[in-house]
Amino acid sequence: MSESPPLVATKLTAHALLLGDRIDLAGLERTDTISLTPLAFRVGPSGLVSLYRYGVAVLVGLSPLEEDDIISKLKDRIVGARLLKEDETAQLVLDGAEDRIAPGGVIGLKDLSDARFLVFADALAKSVALGRDEREVNGVLDKIEPLAYGLAQYGRPMRGRREMLKLIGQALGVQHRVSGRVAVEEKPDVLWDRPDLERLYARLEDEYELKERAQTLQRKLDVIVETARALADLIDADRSTRMEAAIVVLIVLELAVSLFQIFFPPGH
């Protein structure tokens, strides 16, 4: 009997594209849908697409023309679209062997079944979304740092009240968007039906450092929130000081008027 030929490895490129702040997925169900949460479907003989409400699309095995076609169809459904789309790329090798991640970052999969695709796409989508959140948080921290330096050196804020209020609003806005946008620590729903893929997801978590990045991001958010509170307290204290000073001035003026009327009564 002749031996069966060895399985030829298939190489694919995966793209995770950050299209905007949100994608409206209502009514996008298709006949070739493989999942509703997230919305995932097949394109052509070997292409797969997964769309996430927090603004990310993961595309595997598509040609550049097919990718452009998918993105153009989503154009009217993207909230907060970005002119420069951020992306993250991964190389996949399908060879029938055990799921693994090579030292160079190449991801080896036994196959690209629907379940394996959803597990991989979840990790890649979270990674590119975390990159966006990290940049937003770092941008706020860059603005807070000079203010903290001014407080430490001069004992008072080096910005006006309106600028401080803007900074507070920006800090709270970032905290709200980041905290409610991507549930990094939640595992993909597909693992409820395929617990045998838990190890693959754990490896992907380690490869993209999802937990570590989420924890670092949360610590930075805590700093932002505490700074916003401190700034609000400074504004309240400054306002109270001014009101107290105004009250003292009014009391002094009223006392002066009373003394004037005592020593120089009307008609004299």
Q: What is the pLDDT of residues 214-231, one digit of tens each?
A: 888 888 888 877 777 777
Q: What is the structure's pLDDT at 5?
A: 43
- 44-91 pLDDT, tens per residue? 888 999 999 999 999 999 999 999 999 999 999 999 887 767 889 999
CA distance 138 to 143: 9
Mean pLDDT for the stretch of residues 127-137: 89
**pLDDT higher at 58 or 161:** 58
Output DSSP code: residue 246. H
Q: Given pLDDT bands bounded at 50, 70 and 90, which one contains residue 161?
A: low
| Distance in angstroms (rounded) separating the CA atoms of residues 138 and 250 | 46
Residue 157, preceding peptide bond in cis (omega within 30° of 0):
no
pLDDT the model gives residue 236: 64
Q: Closest Cα to residue 221, out of 150, 161, 138?
A: 138
Residue 60: beta bridge partners? 14, 48
Q: What is the average per-residue pLDDT within 12-30? A: 90
Q: pTM of this prediction?
A: 0.80
Q: Which is higher by pLDDT, 38 or 226?
A: 38
Per-residue pLDDT, 104: 83
Token code pair at residue 257: 């008027």
Question: CA-CA distance, 24 to 79, in Å (whole number)?
Answer: 8
- As a whole-number percent, the residues of the chain with pLDDT over 90 amount to 40
Widest distance between CA atoms in the chain: 134
Compute the distance between CA of residue 210 and CA of residue 235 in angstroms, rounded to an integer: 37
Angle among Cα 111, 112, 117 to the nearest 5 degrees reads 135
Is the pLDDT at 1 greater than 50, yes or no?
Answer: no
Q: For the beta carbon of residue 140, count every other beta carbon within 10 angstroms.
A: 22
